[in-house]
Amino acid sequence: MKQLKAFVLLVIIITLLPSTGLLGADLAGSKDHPLLRRFAGSEIVGYHVKRFDAYELQTSTFNRYNLETKKLEYVKPPLKPEGRLTRIWYEAAGDIGSLEVFRNYLNELRAKGFVILYDSKQDQAATGWNNYLAPFGSMDIQTNRSNYIFFAAERGGICAASAKKNRPEGDVYVHLTLVEWGKSDPIYKAKRGAYIAVDIIETQPMVQQMVTVTADQMSNSLTASGKVSLYGIYFDTNKWEIKPASRASLQEIAKLLKQQPALKLHIVGHTDNIGGYEFNMGLSKRRADAVVASLVKEYGIPATRLTANGVAYLAPVAPNTAESGREKNRRVELVPR
């Protein structure tokens, strides 16, 4: 009976112990991305997720690191997708080389429907000390290894690749950086074996998170900068009918005008540059007209105190080359007359 109890206790203890090489050894709070499996036996040693970020997707070797601009310069211009960014570092310790893991990941990406955009092993320029495949300097990420573990590894084992998959809900990009360590290194907390950095970018427009600007805040902005930029007045794409979600912002504009009876305003519509100048000039003016009409009809503001103007994309506050900039340019501004 005692032997049976001891056996049962041993089974319970073994069952509760974390499995070596499985999720129990991963960095706390980390997990695999659902779109891409890990290399067998590898563990997560670095992890970072950001809801929305810009990313420079490598399409060639790095030519040099510009000390003045503190930026990498590429042989070919990188792609610049924006969206949800997931960064995962895996450690595959033991008698494992980076090329073996690299080939496995490329095969997995192809099987998942990705198109390979760049493969350093097919790039004759990806050799020599003047070309860089791994980022220059540290890679800042939550990790229980060194932030320099990719930069300081053996140069001959570096592999890099980029891939893309088209999806109706938004394209997905993957960038891989692989290195290998010939022996363990206590300074970099490195184990002998391969390390894999997987960056996954799920493209999506930035969700507008601007809060409603109050009448008092509008007044302060008019005093400080001579205008108020509003992102809480909503329209459907290429339309000028005001959406119901805009009511809070319109109420605050009306409150401002009632608090300051002598105040007269230009209501100025701004757009991004999609669709051309003539179209956006008309669209921005119609949206400004709609705001004026709403303030007059629904909030009792005299029409003589309001003037509608549209300036299309002639006064941007950010570049129109990316969605994050275009999002900031689509706005309504209040300017005193």
Distance CA(308)–CA(21), nearest Å, equals 65
Domain's final residue, options 147, 179, 203 = 203
* pTM, to two decimals: 0.58
Query: From the centroid of its chain, how far is CA 323?
Result: 11
* CATH classification of the domain holding 295: 3.30.1330.60
Q: Could you tell me if residue 5 is inside a domain?
A: no
Residues 51 and 166 in one domain: yes
Residues 124 and 61 in one domain: yes
State both tokens at 103: 């080939």
Q: Could you tell me if residue 8 is inside a domain?
A: no
Residues 220 and 78 in one domain: no
Number of folded domains that form the chain = 2
Residues 284 and 198 in one domain: no
Strands 306-310 and 265-270: parallel
Q: Could you tell me if residue 140 is inside a domain?
A: yes
| Length of the chain (residues) | 337
Residues 59 and 183 in one domain: yes
Residues 184 and 221 in one domain: no
Residues 64 and 190 in one domain: yes
Q: Name the residue range of residue 84's domain.
A: 14-203
Domain's final residue, options 203, 233, 262 = 203
pLDDT at 328: 85
Tens-digit pLDDT string for the chain (337 aa): 444 444 444 333 333 333 333 344 899 999 999 999 999 999 999 999 998 888 989 888 877 777 787 777 778 888 988 889 999 999 999 999 999 999 999 999 999 999 999 999 998 877 655 556 666 667 889 999 999 999 888 878 899 999 999 987 789 999 999 999 999 999 999 999 999 999 999 987 555 555 678 999 999 989 888 999 998 898 888 899 998 889 999 999 999 999 999 999 999 999 999 888 999 999 999 999 999 999 999 999 999 999 999 999 999 988 888 877 888 889 999 999 9
Q: Could you tell me if residue 208 is inside a domain?
A: no
Tell me whether residue 71 is exposed, middle or buried, using C-beta atoms within 10 angstroms of its C-beta: 0 to 12, 13 to 18, 19 or more. Answer: exposed
Q: Could you tell me if residue 142 is inside a domain?
A: yes
Q: Could you tell me if residue 326 is inside a domain?
A: yes
pLDDT at 134: 65
Q: Could you tell me if residue 2 is inside a domain?
A: no
Distance CA(300)–CA(298), nearest Å, equals 6
Residues 86 and 109 in one domain: yes
State both tokens at 150: 């990719």
Residues 294 and 327 in one domain: yes
Task: Kindly list the distances between the CA atom of residue 142 and the CA atoms of 3, 46, 135, 173, 221, in Å, as whole numbers in the listed order.
Answer: 46, 5, 17, 21, 39
Residues 84 and 183 in one domain: yes
Tell me whether residue 225 is exposed, middle or buried, using C-beta atoms within 10 angstroms of its C-beta: 0 to 12, 13 to 18, 19 or more. Answer: exposed
Q: Could you tell me if residue 209 is inside a domain?
A: no
Show Cβ contacts of residue 19 under 8 Å, excluding neighbours closer than 6 positions. none
* Eight-state DSSP code of residue 206: P
Domain's final residue, options 174, 203, 232 = 203
pLDDT at 52: 83
Residues 152 and 281 in one domain: no
* C-alpha count within 13 angstroms, C-beta hemisphere, residue 85: 17
pLDDT at 312: 96
